[in-house]
Homo-oligomer: A and B are copies of this chain.
Amino acid sequence: MTVEIRGGTDNRPGAHDPRRLAWAYLSKVVQGPCPALSRLVDEVGPEEAARAVRERDLSELLGEKTVARAHVDTAAHDLDLVTGMSGRLITPDDDEWPQWRLLGFDTLSASREDGAPFALWVLGSRSLTELTERAISVVGTRAASGYGEHVTAELAGDLAVDGWTIVSGAAFGIDGAAHRAALGVGGLTVAVLACGVDRAYPAGHARLLRQIAQNGAVISEYPPGTTPAKYRFLARNRLVASLSDGVVVVEAGWRSGARNTASWARKLGRPVMAVPGPVTSVSSTGCNRMIREGEARLVANAVDVVDEAGPIGLRAGVDGDVERDLDAVRALDGLSGDALLVYEALPALGASGVRELSEASGIAVHKVRAVLPMLEMEGFVDSGDTGWSRQR
């Protein structure tokens, strides 16, 4: 008997929505991004796409891409497994599918194997939309120096205190330090894995990964049971880049994977930042070089990062502008987009709540929430017991 459930995940083992079962089956078949399959699902829905894959009723391209595992259907088992870990499968069907985070992939060639994820397996109770609303990726070498670990702790900690989610890859070194810094200040953090979310990789970070799942999310586009592989790390890096407002490389050797993440951020139109370090330290070679070659902008602290990646249109203008006119930056002319609309929705006298501001400005509540602390930091608004008000 098929139980028809719409609009949500049924968490009872074995009682999965057939549509979600189809997504899970297909995710296992392609194991990673597959723009061709995403397009087919878009057109005919996951169930019909799953039937077509099972029955080999496919274009030549999709036939090739799915032939190896079309006969493997562990969908119910996989969904049971993640449900048992308080996890879930998120697909483009879901409200929390981070659609706006993934728009960047549209600008890349649709034939790329490394397009938008097909689906996301997630451990953690928070909505992915909420988690990635204001997020910075902090990445770097596994062979971090004391300097790198220190700077990561300061920078990621300050960003997390300021309400930014820290996204990283859970590797040893800089990645781990970034997650820990966020956890240490009670902030949010997201780990993106190159293996199934049921696998702790690296094993030495098993406890860290459990903490991350409890305070944020552990994410993978690979189904449970998938083992890490080199090409999956590269694909993972593109997700790390896409799920944030910008990528900071704290320390990286010349051949560090962090440079791959930075390269993805560039392709996706996200700001790429790097922390400089001693020219005598091999752990900083990659960062210094990226800055030198104009591949990354130098950042020294969290304020620099927010200046670069923050939601308010306050970025420094043309490179080479010698002195920035701070007064001009502070002027309302400096505001743009959502920030300006939210500011203008504030009453001339008195205070407003977030929901009121959302209604008055037409900006979604979660974006209003993201913009207000920035406006406060920049000195445009004040927060008080009765809500938000214009700064006098």
Contacts and interface: CB of A to CB of B under 8 A. Distances in A.
Contacts of A150: 280
A266 to B, nearest CB: 7
Interface stretch (A109-117, A182-190, A299-307, A351-359): A299-307
A153 to B, nearest CB: 11
Contacts of A293: 316, 319, 321-322, 324
Contact of A292 (B266, B278, B297): B297
A44 interface: no
Nearest to A299: B292
A320 interface: yes
A280 B279 CA distance: 14
A224 interface: no
A122 interface: no
Nearest to A266: B322
Q: Size band of the A side of the interface?
A: 20 to 34
Given A276-B279, A279-B276, A280-B151, A298 B288 contact: yes
Nearest to A318: B294
Interface in A311-329: 316, 319-322, 324
Nearest to A304: B292
A96 interface: no
Count identical subunits in the complex.
Answer: 2
A291 interface: yes
A219 to B, nearest CB: 28
Nearest to A281: B278
Q: Main secondary structure on chain A at its contact with chain B? A: loop
Contacts of A280: 147, 150-151
Nearest to A263: B322
A50 interface: no
A297 B277 CA distance: 15
B304 A300 contact: no
A322 B295 contact: yes
A136 interface: no
B276 A301 contact: no
A275 interface: yes
A325 to B, nearest CB: 13
Contacts of A291: 276, 291, 298
Interface in A262-291: 263, 266, 275-280, 284-285, 288-289, 291
Nearest to A323: B293
Contact of A294 (B289, B304, B321): B321
Contacts of A304: 292
A301 B284 CA distance: 14
A294 to B, nearest CB: 3
A165 B289 CA distance: 26
A320 B266 CA distance: 10
A299 B301 CA distance: 21
3 A-B pairs with the lowest CB-CB distances in the bound complex, closest first? A294-B319, A276-B276, A279-B300
Interface of A: 147, 150-151, 263, 266, 275-280, 284-285, 288-289, 291-295, 297-301, 304, 316, 319-322, 324
